[in-house]
Structure 1
């Protein structure tokens, strides 16, 4: 049965209040591999509060896990064939530095639905606005694009136009290359920041999905690519990090060495990330916007 586009576009979501502590901010960064070099002061600022207790910074990509509504596509009222949902793209836009602890509010809505035709699926865009619960400060906008592989052909009632075109990659050799090792237990750490999908932890679940082993979360891969930009281009100055958009092209595995190729063109940083040992491009058509 086709999905009802009008109903999906108007679907109400409760506003989520997410309370978190400095420890959660540190755990998120550890789940991306930061702190792997205990002598790297740039990495330490995201995993250690400092002797003054106030030196900790929140990684910009932590916006991905704050006030996250969960995998709501599997709820019966959506009509979505949830077993065939594929996470295609993720984007964050930062409006203010993320607090290292406190309470944030997340307001989610379905902002677009594009039909690709019978048998070809549909693209669904959802947007989450994050605000500081105490001050009302707008913190970030998080945009997720999913391919609903089993739900195309609904016809009228979708959104006009088409999904945003992929970011165009520059030609020529990259300006920088950054290799970051991922420990074998990284997905088990990252999942403690809120994404408890057993695909990333349980070998039996991974095998049933067609994978030889549990895979790394896509948004963890995004966070590792952001780390590469922070390390290579920004000297760990996250105040210049204004936003990021990535396209997921293949799964990464915990234990992969992730090589991020980086092109800097003014305030736009283009990037592509490859799992070196397998030669698999895991992120492509990606960009970081600088302030």
Structure 2
């Protein structure tokens, strides 16, 4: 079996230094559509957008944590850890959760500790939980968990793991916004460190079972968090405490995302769908916890 669960879980964590600067933050924000909001007259000069793009007033959207240090550890590099040997064409990003311990600075150097936190048998697929804990000299900054589905690698009788499914939100959403995805969005987003050819190479995408390259799930993840911050949190990124989602479907560059939000005092439930494909779900079981 290409995945040895016991060996993967027992492997020593990998620790290394990561760093980022304002240019990395600005590139990430461009990659998730900053400066291109359709609901503002001139997004290029809108102060609400410039806080994501202009170094003199730059704030950091918490989902930047998924690419800080060029996406370290990154799905591709993590799949080379002990006990894991898989075909990249069988790999899909199944979900993502992020806990923010304090606001992310626009530039910094930190220590990232990476390990396999879970290996689960879903029958037709295996699921790996890749955990990254990041801290600087002042203490913890964030904890990232990536849930990675590897098709065709399940069925060994292992632990199925916890379910991420939530009951559907009740009633009409408090806010709905639409965000267009540029035709070149994946090509721009990948410059922040996710080089999986599934998002750029048409031939690789076909081998993986898709008609054409798909958008990074983490790009949709970032677009969605920015929409919630802008629509419900007054544009204040420091109010976000945690953010979790399940990737329910793919997004193709050039499509439009419909983002529905149900707000409570301390959290917001979110559902995201692809408008042009009859509101096909793309993010589900999504929760942003905030102040």
Partners of 2:180 and 2:240 in 1: CA distance: 23
Aligned to 2:145: 143
Aligned to 2:49: 43
* 8 Å CA contact 2:164, 2:285 repeated in 1: no
Distance 1:114 1:212, change over 3 A: closer
Cα distance, 1:93 vs structure 2: 0.5
Distance 1:29 1:2, change over 3 A: closer
Aligned to 2:108: 102
Partners of 1:225 and 1:253 in 2: CA distance: 15
Aligned to 2:172: 173
Aligned to 2:249: 250
* 8 Å CA contact 2:2, 2:86 repeated in 1: no
* 8 Å CA contact 1:16, 1:69 repeated in 2: no
Cα-Cα RMSD: 1.9
Q: Specify every segment of 5 or more residues in structure 1 that has no aligned partner in the other structure, as ranges.
A: none
Partners of 2:134 and 2:6 in 1: CA distance: 25
Distance 1:238 1:73, change over 3 A: closer
Partners of 2:245 and 2:222 in 1: CA distance: 10
Distance 1:164 1:16, change over 3 A: farther
Cα distance, 1:122 vs structure 2: 2.8
Runs of 4+ more than 6 Å apart:
none
SS at match of 1:189: helix
* 8 Å CA contact 1:258, 1:276 repeated in 2: yes
C-alpha deviations, 1:41-70, integer Å up to 9, x for none? 1221011123xxxx2111110011124212
1:81 to 81, 86, 91: 86
Partners of 1:73 and 1:151 in 2: CA distance: 16
Map 1:108-119 to 2 at 5 A: 108-117=114-123
Partners of 2:90 and 2:176 in 1: CA distance: 34
Aligned to 2:133: 129
Q: TM-score, normalised by structure 2?
A: 0.89
Partners of 1:228 and 1:5 in 2: CA distance: 38
Partners of 2:4 and 2:207 in 1: CA distance: 30
Partners of 2:152 and 2:16 in 1: CA distance: 28
* 8 Å CA contact 2:125, 2:154 repeated in 1: yes
Cα distance, 1:2 vs structure 2: 5.8
Cα distance, 1:257 vs structure 2: 1.2
Q: TM-score, normalised by structure 1?
A: 0.89
C-alpha deviations, 1:98-120, integer Å up to 9, x for none? 11112122111111222234xx2
SS at match of 1:9: helix
* 8 Å CA contact 2:52, 2:59 repeated in 1: yes
* 8 Å CA contact 1:268, 1:287 repeated in 2: yes
Q: Does 1:72 align with 2:77?
A: yes
SS at match of 2:14: coil
Partners of 2:224 and 2:135 in 1: CA distance: 25
Distance 1:96 1:222, change over 3 A: same
Aligned to 1:226: 225
